[in-house]
Structure 1
């Protein structure tokens, strides 16, 4: 019998259903949403472990791309400083962080990676839009 009688759910309905990825969306979107929407109940240990590896890899690639894109902004631009800070924090977390011992510790670490990855995705999108707007403005000025 399930832990929560008459529901057929062993987790009491605390986990959100897995999202179906929209066409063209990267897999990392699913990883981030599954981890961040898990609530207080961690996913199975294998999923936490594989998600941690995917998130670390994503952060490593994306942080460097965001840093390079942010360098295109003017020196005193606040967005450049914000991006640099987010990149440094995400890289430090991914490269020097430790999942610790036990599922709850590993899940907490994985959650922090997912939050950092989500922030980097947002920054990357913003910087791409700024670059596109900047190239359009230059094209119209000529």
Structure 2
């Protein structure tokens, strides 16, 4: 049995777009580059040929990886869930750090979607694991490399 991988609708859309790009643009471009390099003759010492084959290997590997992830994806559309103040996969959480009073907003997403610069954290990260299941006004302690940080959940949104 294959393990389902949680993913937001946005994450699945991005993976499908990347897959389409790889299959319809990158793959034909690489195939043409290989054909052109073959036309130059001796393949043993043909750097263009070897570079194109390496690109082909990378592209085919990425295609297989994306297809596997999409096949195992459990796509969760948080906007279809009943509104609640509980933190769940896909929800957006406003946190206030107890020590600095600084507020931060994070969306809990799948591993492939995580991007701290965009405020998207993986559901398997320490902070997300501490938040999931909690509600607005709860206080959570998160083990970080710099020690334990305490946050108050200020708001939970299902965007």
After TM superposition, the score normalised by the length of structure 1 is 0.32
After TM superposition, the score normalised by the length of structure 2 is 0.29
Query: When you count helix as a share of all residues, which structure comes out higher?
Result: 1
